[in-house]
Structure 1
Amino acid sequence: MYPSRQSNSNIVAQNVLNDDHKSYLLSRGINEKVAFKYGFYTASPSEAKTLIGQQLKGLAIPCYDIDKEVVAHRLRPLKNDWYSNQELKDFYLESKGELPKFLSKSKGETTEEQRINKAYFPPTLDWKKIQQKSSIDILITEGEIKALACSLHGIPTIGISGVNNIYNTIGKMREFLPELEWDCDEEFRSSYWQGRNVGLCFDSDIVSKWQVQRALCQLAKEIKARGGKPFMILLPTEANGEKNGLDDFLVKHGGEALERLIQQFKILQKSKSPILAWDNEEKQYSLQNLEPIASIKGLMAWSCLKDSLVHREGYGWYEWDNKKWKLVSESKVMGLLQNFRYSNEWLNLNDKTVFEDFKGGLSKSEVEFNRSNILGFNNGYLNTDTNEFLPHDKSYYVTSILPFDYNPKATCESWLNFLNQSLGNDTQKIEYARAWMRWILTPKNNNKFPIEATLWIVGQQGTGKGTFLNILSNLVGEENYGVFTPEAITDTNMLFGLVDKKLAINQDVTGFISNIGVYNRICSNELVNVWNKYHNQFATRLNTVTVLAMNKPLSFSGNGSEGLKRRLHVLTFDRPPENPDYDLSEKLESELSGIFSWVWGLSLTDTKQKLKWRDTRATSEIYESQLTELLFLRETFPDGCGHITPSDLYQQFAEWCKNNGYGVSNSQNFYLSLKKIDGVVGDRTRNERFYIIPPMGDYHDESFKNAETFTITGRDGCDGCDTPPVTGSNPYTAGGVTGVTGLTQKFSGQKEKNNFDSKNSLLSESKPVTLQSQQGFDPVTNPVTESKPVTPHTQQGLQPFELILSEALLQKLDTIDKDLLQIFNNAKSERNIFDGLISAWKNEVERLGKNKQWSKSEFKKKTGLDNPMDADYVQWLDFISYLRGLKVTPKPSPKKAEVKKTKKFIPKPEAPEVNLSDVLPHLEPGTGKHKRNYVCPCCEKDYLSVNPGKGYKCWNKETNCDTKEIFKGFVEILKEHNPTWQQYERDFQQWQDEINGGGANG
């Protein structure tokens, strides 16, 4: 046995690796621990003299046999090691022209000493078991380090000391390496190689070295002679021209990529066109074609480029830039593939299969990108669940990072001073802005947003609005925001540009929101159609938050405006600085890390709570002033209108929009929008339809008014809040408010609406009424009757009966009848109140001689609520007051029969024929997967298919639109656009006037 290092008295027993040798082994996939375990060490010149007979410093590499015994050493001198023996270095340069990479012991006189070439069996595996089981595939490669690196990945690999070193010369005879003979005396086989697949894998530059190709063919011949099944594994060269050995490839691309290559080349060897071909006549192997088939080309490209490229389904290609995955064009990917082709000396890359296999191997689903708990920075990733800071890692598939370092200890004094000046030291407003910044920066999953909102920032120049937006943009970074244009909201290519952007922003937006429905879906992160130009169109969630800044608010159509009403948030800047700081922008940009730390100090739970609040006064002013239908009615009918036909009203609306630069919605959407404006009533007689428009000069949306009545006692600046305002970074912890009146139930602390059965709501004896004012709970003397107590809710506990009266209800109680006020004064529970209100309601309905169904229908018209139990006290009182204002209609007395006078006969005009070819040009086309359809005038969804020669049908299964109703919609469209139908309308109106005037018979 060759003497081990520990057994030789001339060698120090302690293994040592210097830094150069550690780095060399680590670059080949062998760490220091593994190196020490398997006998690698830095040999001094004297130690090398003992090992190989030459006095030179270097890395000593032990050679193991199949029994895990060290039988030899080789020396790997690195660049700096040669300085230990300058004379030897000069000798090799003069005689060989280059320095050898490895040195072995010279031949001796005995047969064993002449066997200087050895096969290396990595001691990580049990080679006795592998030898006896021929179903286990084995690789043979050049070099001990490569063989050990492969075996560490679980791939059995034998190393030879050089491509030509499969023989030893004994005297004048050439002998195949005895360690690879593997003879056996079993009955069914003579060698352990028999029937075994043996992969031969040398460095990737074999394609240009004929000597290495010849050596591989000779090794394959020897394996075949012993019953083995050799096949060649061709390693790819990197796209930059850097060659790969087995150890290099494993370090760069991993064991999975190598195992895939092994399997594919083994399959290729069994095909009709193997690379390694056997010639029966010559009894020799040859390499037929070193340019593999298309599928293996794709696999080789995948193996080398998989760590720098990924294909995201539906979105395109991304490239790793050592910090994040960056979206790149397909042309750049094709350029990288061409470079890869040149490096591997392929003649052809035009085969579509190559690209498809390459693309398929690199494709990842959308859900693997941008995890909701990972936030990227310049210096690493923050796990927002555990608050752990991690190094950049491509496996997280992060596509955006914030453009500054994460530093939780950073501060932002200038930023806080700016907010205090710009927002008038209004703590509530500052915390509101902070919550919006926190929501924008929060990583989001691919679901509907829990916060469905859009922020409009309104303010004149010089009030701080621009500075706030600049910092917001700088916080997310230039690559993480996109410009959002509401007028182009149906441009699917523009929407694709907003995918995964933290912020969709426009710092000076003007114009008209052309499609309010799409805008609402973006705010809620619902599916919208996007188009990756020159690729495909598909539906996805943008995962972006919209922030629009404006001097003048955007206008929008009423169709879908209810969705915008609940999503719209407004932040106003209206305080110009007294002493402007012209260096403020630079100061704030230097505080980005501190601004982030300040924003991130607000938890996501607190953020959701704070964004329930909104400045409803500013929001309602903007909403009402920019809703085009409402703005039209205000300007055109400030004093109202008692009777106007739909066609005349729409014609005036269209002209008004044109004169004022607004987009014109179609007539069906216009009529739908009118239904949603409180007070506008559509009615009809036997002969015509018409609208009654109330005075619109002082119109205000009741939904905003109700929200504004909520106040918090003992706090400043809280008027007009939807929810309790909060200050600081802690949530508002006051108990839920129960029994709130004059307020939509959405903002009450109750889980169930109008719960009558509370056991704790009975009062043993009556006390004087205490009504809530905006300043606090103060006794209020009511001029109508003496007050009895209603005890307020406190945080310490519940009194026997609690009732907090809002400002709206207080005002209502001042004006209603005495008997209704008595209901509240005598109440001992909420049940008492509702029993009294229901009784008063019932009495009025009986007085009017109406039934219960009529009453519910009227209530819905006035409040928009299907269930009266969903209403608050103010709505109940309003409706009862409305009923009391109605007079009982006396029954008409029977009239005496009159002798009819003979009148002239006027024939009724005949309606023109409805021709589908006339309707088609005026139908709104569908979008997305329904782009071949049209928008149905009945359900307003793009499910309508029309064939002028055959007919029409709406395929909306949810509404099952009746063909008669669709036909009526076609008629309305023709009345709006077709001259023949417009003439018919005029003739019909004239005929009706004649009949109603009594001058003719129809």
Structure 2
Amino acid sequence: MSATVTTSTPVIIRPSTEPIDVTMLDAGSAAPELDAKHAAYLATRGVSPLVAQARGYFSCTPLPLPEDSPTTGPIQEFGWSRLQNEAFCEADPETGRYVRALVIPLYAGRDLYANVQVRLDSPRRVIDLEATKKANPVKLDADGIEVPVNKKHVTKFTSIKFEVPAFESWEAALPGANGQPTRRGSEDYMLPADIHPLAAGWVDDTTVPVLLTEGIPKADAVLSEALRTGVKLVPIALTGVTMGYRAAGSPENPSDNPVLVAETLGLIPWAGRTVYMAFDADWATNRMIKRALATTAALLTAQGASVSMVCVPATEADPKRGIDDFLAAARAGGAPAPLTELLNERTLNPAQAEALTRYYSADDVGRGDRFAAECLAEKDAVWNIDGKEWMRWNGSIWDRRATAPLLRRAMALTERDTDNQESYKAGRGVRALEAALKVGATHPDLAVNELDFDLEPNVLNVANGMVDLLTGNLKPHDRRLLQTKRSGTSYSPTAKAPRWEQFLGETFGQDAELIAYVQRAFGSALFGDVRDEFAIFCTGAGQNGKGVFIDAISFAMGNDFVVPLSPDILLGHPSDEQLAELHGKRLAIMQESNAGQQLDSAALKRIASKDAISARKLFKDRFSFRPSHTPVFITNHLPRVTEQDRGSWRRIKAVPFDNQVTEEAKDVNLPDTLQLEAEGILAWLVRGALAFREHGLGTAAAVERLTAAYRKSGDTLGQFLEEYCIVEPTANANRAITYRAFTAFCVESGIRPWSQRALVGALGERGVIDRMEPAHKNAGVWYWAGFKLNPEAPANAQFFKNF
């Protein structure tokens, strides 16, 4: 019977030189020739309607139906007599062989039909026969010839998902597009490789990478994703993993070496081209597939291509996951560019791929090396040398809770040893699994130092990606940046926080300048390095919003970035353990000090500094790190600062919280409300970071006034000079008597006495005495030139009595 095609056969679209309108990529339906079931099938595979239309997918029934039976584009007679062996084919119980099918046109690299594949809604099931008299398991091929199968001699069923028609001339089945002649693929009328018409125009451009995968829907899903994200790529679909080359000694290739298939891959320019090979997730464990991939990769490399293997991540539910399933799931999960992420982060060069797939000895060393190769292939595990712990990429951070999932990985790898029951059982013991992790930890390519983590200062890792603090844009999570911290808040630059804005106005008296200053100051804390050495002192009487303010910011940033510390860290000598807690943090909060406590200026300069900090965690080795935190002191009572040196006071920024909230006006739900506005508060902080980067911290009149008053109130030496001394260039002060007088003044004022060296330094910094030659000797007595005790000061009478 000759084959005919109805007038509803889709028109094949030639490659266009016009730009593709990506806004229409996912618009509308795939094609009117597709029924709902087949359109849904393509959609779940991630094939866009535009890509489906351009290929020309359509629905049909393989055999003639009664004239009154509705159908779309029926193609009569697909050559089933050759494809089906009635003894080994189970017909669909309801419709017999009248099942619906999805027809997939294939292209030989340009806009020409070369063949089709047919995907039956109810696939045929071939029965693999049991052992013959010679104990060789066999089945019948399409011509009824016995072929060896199934080494375990177990009868099983195999579903034939994709069928290929077997016309002596495909020209009898479908005309070429726009009257052009068609061509066939292999001798069995199966096209070895397919190139979608929308990508065919890029085939000869060697700057455009090629991605090889198995199956037309997979390649079309890749093309759809590439067009969505602006990635220029030529996906090539092999119709079988071995279809890219002719094996040595085959009828088509009698030579001693395999060769690329001349009709397709052999026609493509490969020199200097980047090639990705993206096959199903089980490629590394399936011997036939990895052998085929290795052969294809070697042939392409010999042609001058740069070949990488793409490791599609498997799941427990789907260990054979394909690239189309991965892309569809990633996009459904909100990933903005899953194809780019896959090609950037989950590729292996041929040497790495060989390490993953080679044979490993059945002992601790072999299992450990295999475990390490798997970790390198997955690119999701590293060994922290300093912390002596495994860390695992969970999609957004490198998680320290990695031992349990990696033990599960080591356990799963033993499933490859089932052919050798002795080795299988030995490898599944607890000691053997732990040994695999220990040996794997020695692999140099898995080693990372603790100080290698969290080094990128210009990003803030958040729930839905990474905020670029140089632009305010959101980027995908990136395992290469080795981030171990993440905010639980999602970032949207347009997120609003109306109650937060109202709260700021109430708290800071509608002072727009002060609010902008506070926004820059706390926005600067988002950066992962210290760009300006300052400490924020938030002060005011109780119930003025300080606690609510800092809690809202801490919640938006997340616990990973915020560390609460004892105020003692600024009031005395901080311990090594306290300093170690600052490592990697971006906001260090110290709350409340008692009235009258004195700030340690040396500690302030150490905490609010760009200089490296040396610290040690309990029972750990000492280490040094660059600070990344902004110190914030929250208190009703500002600690006394007796030193007046510039180094201390250029760091101190006193922010007033003057609004007193009465019990009647108190909003008890405000903390919860602000937590609900966390995304808007984070966006407010990011805008502050951008303003800080552009303008610096700047100033605000309210901060200047409060800081000046704070400095004056703690100016011990200034008060002493003003009340008890005369400052004049020709005056001389007896050094011993003056120092004793100043010490007595400190004691009476409740201030810790200064050392004489500190007093000399402070006098010199104020210009009271000469810094280069502060004292001179006369008649055996040392004097300071530039001031003297005032004998007429009332209180000095007591001093002179004492001295």
What's the TM-score, normalizing by structure 1?
Answer: 0.47
Q: Distance in 2 between matches of 1:176 and 1:140?
A: 25
Residue 667 of structure 2: which of 566, 583, 590 is its match?
Answer: 583
2:626 matches 1:540:
yes
Within 5 Å, which residues of 2 pair with 1:655-734? 668-669=757-758, 671-673=760-762, 675-676=764-765, 683-686=775-778, 687-689=780-782, 694=789
Match of 1:122 in 2: 194
Any conservation in 2 of the 1:377–1:403 contact (CA below 8 Å)?
Answer: yes
Q: CA deviation at 1:445?
A: 5.5
Any conservation in 2 of the 1:458–1:553 contact (CA below 8 Å)?
Answer: yes
Match of 2:588 in 1: 504
Q: Distance in 1 between matches of 2:677 and 2:763?
A: 50
Q: Distance in 1 between matches of 2:295 and 2:494?
A: 66
Match of 1:439 in 2: 521
Letter matched to residue 247 of structure 1 = I
Match of 1:74 in 2: 117
Letter matched to residue 61 of structure 1 = I
The one-character-per-residue Cα deviations of 1:205-264 (angstroms, maximum 9, x if unpaired) are: 4787xxx6479779999999xxx99x9989687475742466369857634567524343
Q: Distance in 2 between matches of 1:216 and 1:409?
A: 48
Match of 2:399 in 1: 328
Match of 2:238 in 1: 159
Match of 2:653 in 1: 569
Q: CA deviation at 1:62?
A: 3.9
Q: Distance in 2 between matches of 1:697 and 1:440?
A: 50
Match of 1:350 in 2: 438
Q: Distance in 1 between matches of 2:679 and 2:309?
A: 51
Q: Distance in 2 between matches of 1:550 and 1:199?
A: 59
Match of 2:159 in 1: 100
Letter matched to residue 623 of structure 2 = Q
Letter matched to residue 736 of structure 2 = T
Any conservation in 2 of the 1:138–1:199 contact (CA below 8 Å)?
Answer: yes
Q: 1:553 to 1:357 in 2, by over 3 A?
A: same
Q: Secondary structure at the match of 2:655?
A: strand
The one-character-per-residue Cα deviations of 1:353-387 (angstroms, maximum 9, x if unpaired) are: 6653135699978664534xxx7776777777777
Q: Secondary structure at the match of 2:711?
A: helix
Any conservation in 2 of the 1:400–1:480 contact (CA below 8 Å)?
Answer: yes
Q: CA deviation at 1:550?
A: 1.7
Within 5 Å, which residues of 2 pair with 1:936-947? none
Residue 457 of structure 1: which of 530, 538, 554 is its match?
Answer: 538
Q: Distance in 1 between matches of 2:193 and 2:526?
A: 52
Q: 1:563 to 1:338 in 2, by over 3 A?
A: same
Residue 348 of structure 2: which of 260, 280, 289 is its match?
Answer: 260
Q: Distance in 2 between matches of 1:435 and 1:149?
A: 50
Q: CA deviation at 1:457?
A: 2.2
Q: CA deviation at 1:508?
A: 1.3
Any conservation in 2 of the 1:183–1:190 contact (CA below 8 Å)?
Answer: no
Q: CA deviation at 1:102?
A: 0.5
Q: Distance in 2 between matches of 1:471 and 1:326?
A: 23
Letter matched to residue 761 of structure 2 = L
Match of 1:554 in 2: 639
Any conservation in 2 of the 1:147–1:157 contact (CA below 8 Å)?
Answer: yes
Q: Distance in 2 between matches of 1:621 and 1:268?
A: 68
Letter matched to residue 319 of structure 2 = K
Q: Distance in 1 between matches of 2:777 and 2:588?
A: 49
The one-character-per-residue Cα deviations of 1:156-215 (angstroms, maximum 9, x if unpaired) are: 9773558899999xxxxxx9976xx2468xxx9996699x9999997554787xxx6479
Q: CA deviation at 1:446?
A: 6.2
Q: 1:316 to 1:369 in 2, by over 3 A?
A: farther
Match of 2:88 in 1: none
Greater RCO, 1 or 2 (C-alpha within 8 Å, sep 6+): 2
Q: Distance in 2 between matches of 1:218 and 1:473?
A: 54
Give the aligned length.
629
Q: Distance in 1 between matches of 2:464 and 2:278?
A: 40
What's the TM-score, normalizing by structure 2?
Answer: 0.57
Letter matched to residue 122 of structure 1 = D
Match of 1:949 in 2: none
Letter matched to residue 100 of structure 2 = K
Match of 1:301 in 2: 375
**Identity over aligned pairs, percent:** 14
Q: CA deviation at 1:104?
A: 1.9
Q: 1:349 to 1:643 in 2, by over 3 A?
A: same
Q: 1:106 to 1:456 in 2, by over 3 A?
A: closer
Any conservation in 2 of the 1:232–1:275 contact (CA below 8 Å)?
Answer: no
Letter matched to residue 568 of structure 1 = I
Q: 1:580 to 1:435 in 2, by over 3 A?
A: farther
2:483 matches 1:483:
no
Any conservation in 1 of the 2:213–2:219 contact (CA below 8 Å)?
Answer: yes
Q: CA deviation at 1:120?
A: 2.1
Q: 1:39 to 1:680 in 2, by over 3 A?
A: same
Q: CA deviation at 1:549?
A: 1.7
Q: CA deviation at 1:456?
A: 1.5
Q: CA deviation at 1:634?
A: 9.1
Q: Distance in 2 between matches of 1:122 and 1:416?
A: 61
Letter matched to residue 537 of structure 1 = F
Q: Distance in 2 between matches of 1:696 and 1:565?
A: 32
Any conservation in 2 of the 1:143–1:162 contact (CA below 8 Å)?
Answer: no
Q: Secondary structure at the match of 2:411?
A: helix
Match of 1:752 in 2: none
Q: Distance in 1 between matches of 2:407 and 2:587?
A: 36
The one-character-per-residue Cα deviations of 1:476-495 (angstroms, maximum 9, x if unpaired) are: 44444222445336546544
Q: CA deviation at 1:97?
A: 7.8
2:410 matches 1:341:
yes
Q: CA deviation at 1:673?
A: 4.1
Q: Distance in 1 between matches of 2:373 and 2:766?
A: 63
Q: CA deviation at 1:565?
A: 1.5
Q: CA deviation at 1:579?
A: 5.3
Q: CA deviation at 1:121?
A: 1.4
Q: 1:679 to 1:110 in 2, by over 3 A?
A: closer
The one-character-per-residue Cα deviations of 1:667-691 (angstroms, maximum 9, x if unpaired) are: 6556534544665896342535466
Q: CA deviation at 1:440?
A: 0.9
Letter matched to residue 342 of structure 2 = G
Q: CA deviation at 1:561?
A: 3.5
Within 5 Å, which residues of 2 pair with 1:388-399? 390=474, 394=478
Instruction: Give the greater-gyration-radius structure (CA).
Output: 1
2:104 matches 1:61:
yes
Q: Secondary structure at the match of 1:439?
A: helix
Q: Secondary structure at the match of 2:589?
A: strand
Any conservation in 2 of the 1:555–1:627 contact (CA below 8 Å)?
Answer: no
Q: Distance in 2 between matches of 1:433 and 1:192?
A: 68
Q: 1:11 to 1:647 in 2, by over 3 A?
A: same
Q: Distance in 1 between matches of 2:376 and 2:157?
A: 36
Any conservation in 2 of the 1:141–1:202 contact (CA below 8 Å)?
Answer: yes
Q: CA deviation at 1:406?
A: 4.5
Match of 2:10 in 1: 13
Any conservation in 2 of the 1:569–1:615 contact (CA below 8 Å)?
Answer: yes
Any conservation in 1 of the 2:192–2:243 contact (CA below 8 Å)?
Answer: no
Any conservation in 2 of the 1:117–1:167 contact (CA below 8 Å)?
Answer: no
Q: Secondary structure at the match of 1:548?
A: strand
Any conservation in 2 of the 1:376–1:402 contact (CA below 8 Å)?
Answer: no
Q: Distance in 2 between matches of 1:139 and 1:291?
A: 35
Q: Distance in 2 between matches of 1:697 and 1:482?
A: 53
Q: Distance in 2 between matches of 1:215 and 1:442?
A: 52
Letter matched to residue 98 of structure 2 = Q
